[in-house]
Amino acid sequence: MRYLVTGHTGFKGAWLTLMLVERGHEVCGLSLDPETGSLFEVARLGELMELDIRGDIRDASVVRDAVATANPDVVIHMAAQPLVRESYADPRWTMETNVMGTFNVLEAVQSASQASAQLIITTDKVYRNVNQEFGYIEDDALGGHDPYSASKAMADLLTQSWVASFDTCPTAIARAGNVIGGGDVSTDRLMPDLLRSFATGQPAILRAPEAVRPWQHVLDCLNGYLLLVDGILERGLGGSWNFGPDDSSMVSVGQVADITASLWGDRASWSCPPGEHPHEAHLLTLDASRARGELGWADRLSLEQSIAWTVEWERKRLAGADPRSITIEQIRHFAVDL
Ligand SMILES: NC(=O)c1ccc[n+]([C@@H]2O[C@H](COP(=O)([O-])OP(=O)(O)OC[C@H]3O[C@@H](n4cnc5c(N)ncnc54)[C@H](O)[C@@H]3O)[C@@H](O)[C@H]2O)c1
The model's confidence at residue 182, banded by pLDDT at 50, 70 and 90, is very high
**pLDDT given at position 177:** 87
Give 230 Cα–ligand 1 centroid separation in angstroms. 22
For ligand 1, atom 22, name the residue with the nearest CA: 10
Cα–Cα distance for residue pair 245/235, rounded to 1 Å: 24
User: Which residues does a 6 A CB cutoff place in the pocket of ligand 1?
Assistant: 7, 9-13, 31-32, 56-58, 78-82, 97, 101, 121, 123, 152, 176, 178-179, 186
Q: Tell me what the mean pLDDT of segment 183-210 comes to.
A: 91
Q: Which residues of 196-214 are buried (b: 16+ CB within 10 A; e: fewer)?
A: ebbeeeeebebbbbebbbb
Cα–Cα distance for residue pair 179/176, rounded to 1 Å: 8
Cα–Cα distance for residue pair 166/161, rounded to 1 Å: 8
Enumerate domains of the chain plus CATH numbers: 2-182+215-244+285-301+323-337 (3.40.50.720)
Beta bridge partners of 119: 76, 172
The 10s digit of each residue's pLDDT in 151-178 is: 999 999 999 999 999 999 999 999 998 8
Residue partners of 23: CB distance under 8 A and separation at least 6:
none
Phi/psi-derived region of residue 178, left when phi > 0, alpha when psi is between -120 and 50, beta in every other case: beta
Phi/psi-derived region of residue 288, left when phi > 0, alpha when psi is between -120 and 50, beta in every other case: alpha
Contact yes or no for 218/189 (Cβ under 8 A): no
| Interstrand relation of 270-271 and 26-31 (parallel, antiparallel or unpaired) | unpaired
Give 7 Cα–ligand 1 centroid separation in angstroms. 6
The ligand 1 atom at the shortest distance from the C-alpha of residue 55 is 33
**N-to-C CA span, the chain:** 26
For ligand 1, atom 23, name the residue with the nearest CA: 7
Q: Which residues of 259-274 are buried (b: 16+ CB within 10 A; e: fewer)?
A: bbbebbeeebebebee
For ligand 1, atom 32, name the residue with the nearest CA: 56
The 10s digit of each residue's pLDDT in 244-282 is: 988 888 899 999 999 999 999 988 999 998 875 655 555
For ligand 1, atom 4, name the residue with the nearest CA: 178
**pLDDT, mean over the chain:** 94
Give 213 Cα–ligand 1 centroid separation in angstroms. 19
Phi/psi-derived region of residue 320, left when phi > 0, alpha when psi is between -120 and 50, beta in every other case: left
State the pTM of this model: 0.95
Contact yes or no for 313/181 (Cβ under 8 A): yes
Range in 45-49, 64-68, 249-253 with the lowest mean pLDDT: 249-253
Cα–Cα distance for residue pair 118/171, rounded to 1 Å: 5
The ligand 1 atom at the shortest distance from the C-alpha of residue 78 is 41
